[in-house]
Every structure is written in C-alpha cells, then in structure tokens.
Amino acid sequence: MKLIFSELIHLISKKQERNIWLLIKFFISLIVLVTVYSTLFHFLMVFEDREFSWITGFYWTLTVMSTLGFGDITFSTDLGKIFSIIVLMSGIVFLLTMLPFTFIQFFYLPWVEAQAKARAPRRLPDGTKNHVILTSYDPVTTNLAEKFRKYNHEYVLIVEDVHQALDLQDIDLRVAVGELGDPQTYQRLKVEDAALVVANVDDMMNTNIAFTVREISKKVPIIANADLDDSVDILELSGCTYVFQFTKMLGQSLARRVFGTSTKANVIGNIESLLIAEAPTMRTSLVGKTLQQSNLRETVGLNVVGVWERGLFIIPTAQTLINPTTVLLLAGSAEQFSEYDLKFGRDIKHQAPVLILGGGRVGQTAGEALLERNIDNRIIEKDRRVAGNERYIYGSAADINTLMQAGIKDAPSIIITTHDDPTNIYLTIYCRRLCPDTQIICRASTERNISKLHAAGADLVMSYASMAANTIMNLLKPGELLMLGEGLNIFRVVVPLSYVGKSLAESQIRKQTGCNVIAVYDQEIKSINPGPSFRISENSELILIGSAEAESRFFKLYSEMKKIKAS
C-alpha cells in the first residue's frame, strides 16, 4: 500500500503535472465516446424495432470496442452493421492502441524511472573519508578506477544521467548521480573530507567544477586538465591546486623517448632522495657488454633496476646484454647520476630529421620539444589549416609519396601521434615494413591497444589514459607509489616480520615475485641500491620496482604473511 501511495505521489508531482492533465483529457474523451456510442446503439435498436436497457448499450459498446464481440447482441440492418464497424475500428484505435500507450507513458515508465532513481545512489555513506571524486567517464577514469581497486582506495564518479549511472554501476564502477555544477552534489559526496577532486571534462566545465567545489571546501586538492594554453591561468584562478595539459605532456614524453639524441640519464621520478632515470645506451661504450661487465655499480654507484628493450620491460640479471636499442632504468642519488653523465652522457646531432605522423596537439608539442633540444623534425598533416610552415608536409601519412617526401628512409625515429588507435596500428605496420630498423614510437588512446601496437612493430607505446592516471596516482600517494610507465611501478611497504634478519638474497623477494628491492629505509639507515648481502632490520621500509604482474604477486605474498602474523 505504501508503494502504491508513493508512486501516486510521484505521478502528481509538478514535474508530471502536464502529463496528468493529458491523461485526464484522454479518459474524458474515451468516456464521452463510449457514451455517444451507447446512445446511438439505443436509437438504432429502436429503429430495428428492438429495445434494450441503457446498461445493455454500454455493455455492447465496450465488448465491440475491445474486440471481444460475444455475438449475443447484433444488428440486422446494414446501417447497424456499418455502425458496428465504426465502433470496432475506433475501439482498436482507442482501447488497443492508445490506451496501452497511455498506460506505458504515464504509469509504467514513471514507475520504472522511480525504480531506477532509487537504485542509483546520490550520496556517500556517513564517515566516508580520503576518497577521490571523479567528474567524467573516459579512458582516464577507467584506468584510475582499476588502480583504485588494486590499491583499495575509495572513489566515486559523478554521472548526470540516471540510466548511464546504472549502466556504469553494472560494470562495477562506483557512481553517484548529480549535476557537476550543483554544490549540493559535492556536499552529498562529502567533498570536504575527500582526498582529491579530478576535473577532467572540458576547460569551461572544469572551471565551473573547481569554482563550485571551492564554495564548499577551501582545502581539498583539485586536479584539472586544460586543453588550451589560455585556460591554465583561469583554472588556477578558479581554485585548482594542480593544472596539467595531458596532451602536451604526452607529446613531450614521446619526444623524450627518441633514441640517439642524447645518452644522458633522464630523471623520470623520485621517492624522497631516490631518483629514477632512463638512459639510452646507443653509441655508448656500454653497448655489447653484459651488466656485470659494465661495472656501473662499482664505477658510478648506480643500480640497474630494469631494462627497456623495444617496449618490453625486463628485470635484469648480471648476464643481461646491453644492445644499441636498450634503455637502462637506473636508480641512485643526484651525485651518482652526475657521475654517470660525465662518463657516458653526450648529445648526438642527427643529420636526418625525426618524422612525426599527425600534426594535432600531441604532434605539435612533440615537434616543439624536439626543436628545444636542437633536433630537426618533419610533421605530416592532412589538414591544410595546421600544415602551415616548412616543417609541415601536407598529405596523408598512408601515402608512400608523402612519406618519401618527408624522408622516411633516413629518419632515425618515427613518432605516430594520431588520436585514433586503429589508424596508429595501420601506420605502425606500414612504417615497420618500410623501415625495419627505425625506432617507432606510438601513441595509444586506450590501454587495451598497447599490446596490439607492440605486436604491429612499435618499439615504444605511450598511453594517454595511462600517463594521465599515473600522474594523478603519483600525486595522490606521494612517497608511497611511483608509476613510471605502462605497467611499471615503484612502491613502498613496511618489512614483514618474516624478512627481518634475513639478507635480500635469503628473502628471495626477486625470485618469488619478480620485484627488485632498490632501496631500504629505516629510522637511522638509508641504503640505496642495497646488495644481495644487505640484512633487513625491523621497522624498515622496502622500496621495490616491478611490473604490474610482479607487484600483484608481491602483494599476494605480502597479504599471506600478514595473515600468518595475525594468526
């Protein structure tokens, strides 16, 4: 009874007032029509010298209009039969067509809508803290949601449409229904207790989101993405704590990965004083040696914690061979990297320009980043409005004549930057066939296409969604988590009791999980690049590096150790 009453209240709400009046008009029209037909039935029966009660007239009209047609009362004259046909046809229109439609439109659909709204959450439970509020469903959000689940971090995604919210809820995303520009939405989502708000819509809406959030909380950090250069200052003025231009960051990252431009170490992250850097080995004295023969630990104090080989990350061993295409992932202090640059680092001047396929924002930024390092480049773009100076070549990147004009045969590297993954896969296959030995760096819009691009022939693939998500995660957990690239993480954990007193070799962390210990912290000692004989003390913290799969294996083992300790 309460449910029926609540639905009636819903139907007579102001929002449904216009529909209710249309519904009333329909039923009034139907009653008038039945009354008219019943009256005409009575007079036509009198014309046939038969007489029935008024109740019988209504009975006959309704049975004919509903097509039941019991046949107990029929006309014998042609006029009566024509009248019966008219009543039958109007009944088909009003009772069999319009009445079901009216029921669905004004009763069933509002009921379904009410049920949907009841299923879609609009607020977070009391006591929710340190959660992240997301404002747009896109590849970056999908990537972030996966990382939040992995690290058990609370989050909620604001969705304005109820049906979209239910669809996203069905694929296991945590959503809440609300308007992005409504302060009450953020109050219901406990924004004052949130760890972070991510504004990743468009520049106008991001400004609106930041301004709205700042009405409620002055301290919650807000991260925003800016598409236009002019929007950066406006977003900062509106209250954003961090403003990134992820497309520009992607272009700069792609340009930094070009082989042979410099052999100096490029710092890509840090946890406190521990620096992580990439160092290409092309044209250095390291090429052709194993890591043991390179003596990097003995000569400069750096530890090789990983090796990139044509986009594949490898946990190194003493016998890992250094090739011209190898990129070393090094861990150490600032002083150690200075020594490395003095010994191995130098800038290299290319005769032929680097080739960039796609002159959008990512391609333009990659070209500008290369020019800042005095690296010439050519950009192929099919939009004449973009292709406007001598570095731009107008045409299709899939046209062999355009590629030859741009100098693909001599290009040391090719950067593919279009925002369409199928196009990037096509161009990667094509360029790899034309230039088997040239470095190909490719952009991916979604993470699921990374493996496809590697299989197509790309040496290195960088995902826009992954890069943006990694940037946000690194800000959310500073000093605890550092995401370096596609599926490569540095993380920090308290030493389990089962490791205390053991050396790193005895702990078998690397053998059991695939993760490598790159530093050990405790209250008194800080050891960077500890050797296999280093003994782990109580209350220490381990800093490890590993692929996503290796990290999952470590945390599975780590949780089992904690269960043993608890029991």
- Per DSSP, the chain holds a count of helices (H) and strands (E) of 23, 22
Closest by CA to 27, choosing from 89, 106, 119, is 106
Residue type (1 letter), 109: L
The mean per-residue pLDDT over the stretch 203-216 comes to 95
- What is the per-residue pLDDT across 457-479, written as a single tens digit (0 to 9) for each? 888 888 888 888 888 988 887 65
C-alpha 265/C-alpha 47 separation (Å) is 107
pLDDT score, position 7: 47
Q: What are phi and psi of 123, to 5 degrees?
A: -145, 165
C-alpha 531/C-alpha 258 separation (Å) is 32
- Domain 2-119 and domain 132-244, same fold? Reply is no
Other Cβ atoms closer than 10 A to 118: 9
**What CATH architecture applies to the domain 354-465?**
3-Layer(aba) Sandwich (3.40)
Residue type (1 letter), 340: Y
Closest by CA to 543, choosing from 559, 527, 531, 532, is 527
Question: Kind of pairing, strands 222-225 and 242-244?
Answer: parallel
Choices 3.40.50.300, 3.90.470.20, 3.10.20.30, 3.30.70.1450: CATH for 487-566: 3.30.70.1450
Residue 160 buriedness (CB in 10 A; 0-12 / 13-18 / 19+): middle
Higher pLDDT, 543 or 239: 239
Give the relative orientation of helices 54-65 and 17-47 as an angle to the nearest 10 degrees. Answer: 120
The token pair at 533 is: 């004989």
Helix (H) or strand (E) holding 186: helix 183-188
425 pLDDT more than 90 = yes
Mean pLDDT of the chain: 83
Closest by CA to 44, choosing from 13, 84, 8, is 84
Closest by CA to 226, choosing from 212, 210, 243, is 243
- What is the per-residue pLDDT across 100-159, written as a single tens digit (0 to 9) for each? 887 777 767 776 666 666 567 888 988 899 999 999 999 999 989 988 887 788 999 999
- What is the per-residue pLDDT across 491-548, written as a single tens digit (0 to 9) for each? 888 887 888 888 888 888 888 888 888 888 876 556 777 878 888 887 788 888 887 7
C-alpha 170/C-alpha 188 separation (Å) is 22
Question: What DSSP assignment string belongs to 370-419?
Answer: HHHTT--EEEEES-TTT--STTEEES-TT-HHHHHHHTTTT-SEEEE--S
Which residues, 6+ apart, have CB-to-CB distance to 65 below 8 Å? 34, 37, 87, 88, 90, 91, 94, 95
pLDDT score, position 240: 95
Q: CA-CA distances (angstroms) from residue 100 to 33, 60, 62, 116?
A: 17, 21, 16, 22
Tokens 């900062």 found at: 236
Choices 1.10.287.70, 3.40.50.300, 1.10.10.10, 1.10.8.80: CATH for 2-119: 1.10.287.70
pLDDT score, position 221: 95
Question: What DSSP assignment string belongs to 495-541?
Answer: PPGGGTT-BHHHHTHHHHHS-EEEEEE-SS-EEES--TTPBPPTT-E
The token pair at 123 is: 């607020």
C-alpha 224/C-alpha 211 separation (Å) is 12
The mean per-residue pLDDT over the stretch 309-317 comes to 74
Domain covering 262-344, topology: Alpha-Beta Plaits (3.30.70)
Domain ranges of the chain: 2-119, 132-244, 262-344, 354-465, 487-566
pTM above 0.95, yes or no: no
C-alpha 307/C-alpha 315 separation (Å) is 6
Q: CA-CA distances (angstroms) from residue 245 to 115, 129, 202?
A: 41, 28, 12
Encode 426-438 in three state secondary structure.
Answer: HHHHHHHHHCCCC
Helix (H) or strand (E) holding 558: helix 548-566
pLDDT score, position 567: 47
CATH H superfamily, domain 132-244: NAD(P)-binding Rossmann-like Domain (3.40.50.720)
